[in-house]
Copies of this chain bind each other. A is one copy, B any other.
């Protein structure tokens, strides 16, 4: 029998917010859940507009997430999960409230500001038997899953080097318009935390590498810079990485790199081969085996691993994109939710979606980057 449609609420993601809309679209793509409640904005006009656009029950269109947690937590037909897509500083308090009501959480990255906050949420989630997914988008791509499986199958041997980069240039236009009176939350340390580029983009590299290879960073050495006139927060990060076990790597991410849209590119180099993933070409993977011509794997083709094939939606050559990546994460998460509803024992590591531990690792990563950079670029241990 078909599973019942799941119910979710959303905090943040009001009119004009980019990422909230993508989450909702991804969930609709799967058609496994419906939006039934929300606290979309702290501005009345935006809440009204959201109500009209999203067509939820007016009584469940909340002014504050505290009220929402209170009322939704008290319902019999409780939310199956809440989506937190607010500016970063609300992640912790909002997640905490909903977890305490026993509501599962999906939260955008970076999870929180500090490792302590992250550990706190992890504990509360565990105490309340809640699932917790952190939406590191790029783990959702079919070819990320293929890369992960190829690594697990030993296709590229022992990993020796990891080269990760994630340049963008969109911030330049924003910087032009920042004034003391008009400062977006991403330009305000109080609202966005100790690091901008490290938290926003750097965590994607750190997570993708961990997700695909299982490698844990042992120590890092980092340069952070706030480039361009008007910049107050770091927007360029360069780091040397030493992983536990001996592999090394380099991570670069930037928000002021002209000519780069959203150019996440990660190369995993092993003793037997190399895998290259380029987010902007997410339907492909370049796989090179020693002594053989490099191959271009294409999403949807018959030679993919069974693990990757599970997530293929349209045939090869018909591009999937960002929305499908999000949708795949939600597909994993909803499978775990249904298992939980069915009373099964759920080990979140087994479902494919990024866990709260990955969220915490990301927070640890960008904090250590800041520590290193503030100390003049010294090596800093991750623990």
Contact = CB atoms under 8 A, between A and B. Distances in A.
A144 interface: no
B262 A242 contact: no
Contact of A52 (B1, B173, B316): B1
Interface in A280-306: 280-283, 286-298, 300-303
Given A240-B240, A290-B169, A379 B379 contact: no
Given A22-B314, A225-B248, A236-B160, A258 B282 contact: no
Interface stretch (A25-33, A74-82, A108-116): A25-33
Contacts of A133: none
B280 A280 contact: no
A240 B377 contact: yes
Contacts of A316: 170, 261-262
Contacts of A163: 165, 252
Nearest to A319: B321
A22 B315 CA distance: 11
A317 interface: yes
Contacts of A227: 160-161
Contacts of A161: 227, 236, 238, 252, 254, 257
Interface residues of A, number: 90
A286 B227 CA distance: 23
A25 B25 CA distance: 10
**A172, A286, A321 pick with most chain B CB within 10 angstroms:** A321
B317 A319 contact: no
A174 interface: no
Interface of A: 1-2, 5, 18, 22, 24-25, 28-29, 31, 52-53, 55, 156, 160-161, 163, 165, 168-170, 172-173, 221, 223, 225, 227-228, 236, 238-240, 242, 248-250, 252, 254, 256-263, 269-274, 276, 279-283, 286-298, 300-303, 313-324, 376-377, 379
